[in-house]
Structure 1
């Protein structure tokens, strides 16, 4: 596959954090008296910006209620740092090999800037990325704004990059911009869901991802 830049989602793609996010959302909402939802409901919104995620989970929240849930979520989520052992096995090597091969690497995530900056440091992955974009500094997935900003930074066309992610929001975002995408099955959404957006490939292992990327 010919490309100049690989753009990665964070949670569920590079880092095994899906269950921790879901549990943090559950704890933050229920301690404020909001109903407990099925675990898959919390999982399904991972990848969206927090405002968009809470709008989907609990429609009609007031600004004060949303602020309270977000503060509770941050308290629970940041109680556990993202460490190198939380990075999916082999993904740090994928990033290193892409850089050695002269490809750019970037992140497009639904995380907040505060959350990503901490995770980049404690996961020890920060060294691999030229640029990172977060939902709270641009528009949330599946709007392709963050991908457009990344390709503009590199001075390339969308077809010269590839988006790698675990959610339909990643695949939809790439498709809207005309960017090739690769779905990974070890995160939130399954092969069938990811495949609805015509990615170049949906892979079930890091070995298969390496093959799809040609590294």
Structure 2
């Protein structure tokens, strides 16, 4: 699809959080590494952790060898450590402006994230564009989180749109698989944690290398609804 094409039938935009709207990677790498080392005894490499960004913490810890009876304490400890390191988190300002633009043009907006509710709540308190988010689908809201399509479908249901009327923007293969299998337009961004070659291999509908390119596309492609979809 040409990146300059207007999408007149688009009614909603779904955004991943980590690696798409914010760069939380520095703190996440430290927190997950420390948590796994403390409970499992072996610290995963940064590359191993990066490869699982987009998988809920419970799934990551199981992959790194944690026992089922350790998972709850590990998640609690890791979330606490991530919040201690929140000063390392930065916003991709132009990606956040894309969210704001979608909202201002009358499109429905949602966050679709592998964060759990306890992780999402403090993030929203400090996220300067939280007012532009209509609903949040977290890992706590679904039985099967990303890459399963359940989260994207639930977001569309909450927003009152059909999947083919929505686009989902994310930086991981899990985002793209979730979008594709839900029937939602899959928009990849290669400035986050996901490897560009892995994103390309998923054959997304669109791929942008920078937040600037994403915002430029949004200015051209997002329709302005005279009767906002959320009214």
Does TM, normalized by the shorter one, top 0.5? Answer: yes
Matched, 1:172 2:156: no
2:92 corresponds, among 88, 93, 97, to: 88
Secondary structure at the aligned position of 1:140 is classed as coil
Whether the aligned pair in 2 keeps the contact of 1:7 and 1:106 (CA below 8 Å) is yes
Stretches of structure 2 lacking an aligned partner (at least 5 in a row) = 1-5, 223-231
Stretches of structure 1 lacking an aligned partner (at least 5 in a row) = none
Normalized against structure 1, the TM-score is what? 0.91
Secondary structure at the aligned position of 2:39 is classed as coil
Q: Deviations over 1:131-166 (max 9, x none)?
A: 100012212110111111111122221111001000
1:97 corresponds, among 97, 101, 113, to: 101
Matched residues, number: 212
Secondary structure at the aligned position of 1:45 is classed as coil
1:5 corresponds, among 9, 12, 32, to: 12
Secondary structure at the aligned position of 1:90 is classed as helix
Which structure is richer in relative contact order (CA contacts within 8 A, separation 6 or more)? 2
Q: Deviations over 1:54-91 (max 9, x none)?
A: 22222xx32222223223212211213369x7111322
Distance in 2, matches of 1:111 and 1:22, equals: 15
Secondary structure at the aligned position of 2:23 is classed as coil
Over the residues paired in the alignment, what is the CA RMSD in angstroms? 1.8
Matched, 1:136 2:145: no
Secondary structure at the aligned position of 1:32 is classed as helix
Normalized against structure 2, the TM-score is what? 0.85
Q: 5 Å matches for 1:42-81? A: 42-58=49-65, 61-81=66-86
Partner of residue 226, structure 2: none
